[in-house]
Structure formats: C-alpha cells, structure tokens
Amino acid sequence: MRRLLSSLRAPLPNLASAIDARACESLNRRSYAVVDSFLGETWCHLLRDDIITLAERRLLGRNATHLVRRGTTSLLVKNNIFETELGAHEEARDAAPHLTTLYNDRTLRDRLRECVGGPLRSQSLKVQLNHGRGGCFPLHFDGDPSLDDRVITAVLYLNPDWSDADGGHLQLVPFPEQPVDVAPLFDRLVLFASHDTLHRALPSQNVRFCVTLWFYRTEPGGGAAVADETKAERRLMARYAYREAWARSIEESHAPGEALDAALLDHASDTLKIAEALKARGVDLAALDAMIK
C-alpha cells in the first residue's frame, strides 16, 4: 500500500536526465556505459514488486531455446531463469502497471537516439527473475544483424543489498578489449551495443532481478540491420578467441541432457567453421589466442 501511494505521488522520472554526456561518450567509444542511480529508489522498488507479482501469478516462463538438429527438436532449458517479454504478453502488462509504464515510455529512447546519432524507432522490454542457485546465461551477442536491427541493450538491475559473494555479474567482452565484470547493483543501468558486445551473466547465488530494454533502428518487424563487414569480422574473432569460455558458459547455464549435448556439438562445429572463415580472410588465429591470455 505504501508503495502504491508512492507511485501515485511519483510519476516515472525523466529517464533522459540520467544519461549524461559521459555515458554517451562511453557508449560510443567503448560500446558500453554504466549509469548508477538511474531511476531512483521508489520506482526501482515498484518495478521489483511488479516482477514478484508476475512470478506469483505464474506469468513468468522458464527461459528455453528450441534446438533443431538433424530434423529433431530439443528444448534447451536454462536453470533457474524465469522471464517474459512484456510487449507480447497482454496479461503480464495488465498485472504489472509500472513495468508497462516503463515499456511505453520514450524518453530513454529519445535520449539514446541523440547519443548514437541515428534513428531508434521502437523498443521491447523483457523481465527476468533469476532464482539464484547458480542461474546464469552463456556468452552471446544480443540478436544478429542478418535477423534484426537491434542497436542498444539497456539492462536495469533491481537488487538491493547485493554483495560480491552473490555473483551474478554481467560480464561484458568489448573485444578486442579485456572483459569487464559489472555487479548487478540496485538502480544500476548498463548500456551496450547489442550486436557487437559479447556478454554473459555469471552464475548467481542469490535471487536476481533485472529488466532489459532493447532499442531497434526500425519499427517492429522492420528487418535486418545494415551489413557492416568490419563488425561482422570482429564478432567472428571474438567468438573464436573466447570459444573455450563460451563452451564452459553453455555448460554452466543449462540443465544436463540431450539438448545440452547438442548445443555443445553445435558450438564445436560452429567454431571450426569460424576458424576456416577467419583463416580464409588472412586472420592469424594464434595471435587471437594470445590476445585473451
């Protein structure tokens, strides 16, 4: 009740004001930025409460990937990860008014458009609850330029009293720079270039809340991004250089079984193909390995 009254008194803050010139510069030059005290305590608690409501009403589903291999489909389930995409889930929007307000708000998108100097015409929002007990995500890029035109990922963390021992850091790999571990602290927003920043969530030993916003160049269903050969090659190099950590992260993130075995086989086969493609372009694979040691 206290928080409901607070929300009536406190409309959603102007999200643009927290993204200062320094954050924009970091996003443009390093491909990521960390913004603390983004939303304020009241709204962070309201969003967190909404996620609890969604969990309580069983409106969050287990994160699972459908893997198709040799004509058979298996379900690769992530341990302890529950989520929903608000835009595609009307019941969730009705049950979570504060998350819906954030989903519909345009101020952050408008500010980021100024930062990156290009169009950002739509956004989506995913809620995630990690039950802890080692719940994590493998290394990945958000989306793929051949499939979607995501530009920026923004993750807001809602974890009061978080300690380093809880783990659950967001590991960003702004290749060719070294990885950076960012703690999922309360009211911290992390921004990064969706297609170009390799990242993962490290195993969490405590319950962990976050909300992810994705910003797209076009309207929903607008299509693929503009091809950029330099960036495509850098993605392949990152994927090759971190192939062992990538395999370990797949194992850490999923329940054992046939689907996990299939995912590891796919990864091994993709790595071989990537190595061949890089060699054909004249990339020195030994030099790539040396870069991450």
Partner 1 sequence: MPKKKAAPAKEETTDKKTKTGPTPAEKLADELDDLMIAYLKACRETPDKAPGLEKKMKAKTAQLAALQDQGIDAHPSWADVE
Note whether 69 binds partner 1 by CB under 8 A: no
Choose, by CB under 8 A, the member of 12, 30, 40, 55 that binds partner 1. Answer: 55
Choose, by CB under 8 A, the member of 30, 49, 69, 144 that binds partner 1. Answer: 49
Q: Are 71 and 64 in contact (CB under 8 A)?
A: no
Note whether 131 binds partner 1 by CB under 8 A: yes
Beta carbon of residue 68, minimum distance to partner 1 (angstroms, whole number): 24
- Say how many residues touch partner 1, by CB under 8 A: 11
Note whether 207 binds partner 1 by CB under 8 A: yes
Note whether 268 binds partner 1 by CB under 8 A: no
Nearer to partner 1, 49 or 266 (CB): 49
Stretch that binds partner 1, among 50-58, 245-253, 262-270, 279-287 (CB under 8 A): 50-58
Stretch that binds partner 1, among 113-121, 125-133, 178-186, 264-272 (CB under 8 A): 125-133
Residues 79-118 contacting partner 1, CB under 8 A? 80, 82
Beta carbon of residue 131, minimum distance to partner 1 (angstroms, whole number): 5
Note whether 277 binds partner 1 by CB under 8 A: no
Beta carbon of residue 55, minimum distance to partner 1 (angstroms, whole number): 5
- Among 249, 223, 246, 250, which residue's Cα sits nearest to residue 236? 246
Beta carbon of residue 58, minimum distance to partner 1 (angstroms, whole number): 9
Beta carbon of residue 92, minimum distance to partner 1 (angstroms, whole number): 15
DSSP output for 146-160: TT--EEEEEEEE--T
Distance between CA atoms of 252 and 203, rounded to whole angstroms? Answer: 8
Burial label for 241, CB within 10 Å (0-12, 13-18, 19+), is buried
DSSP output for 182-240: E---TTEEEEEETTT-EEEEPPBSS-EEEEEEEEESSSTT--PPPP-HHHHHHHHHHHH
Choose, by CB under 8 A, the member of 133, 248, 279, 281 that binds partner 1. Answer: 133
Nearer to partner 1, 79 or 197 (CB): 79
Which spans of this chain sit near partner 1 (rule: CB under 8 A)?
49, 52, 55-56, 80, 82, 131-133, 207, 256
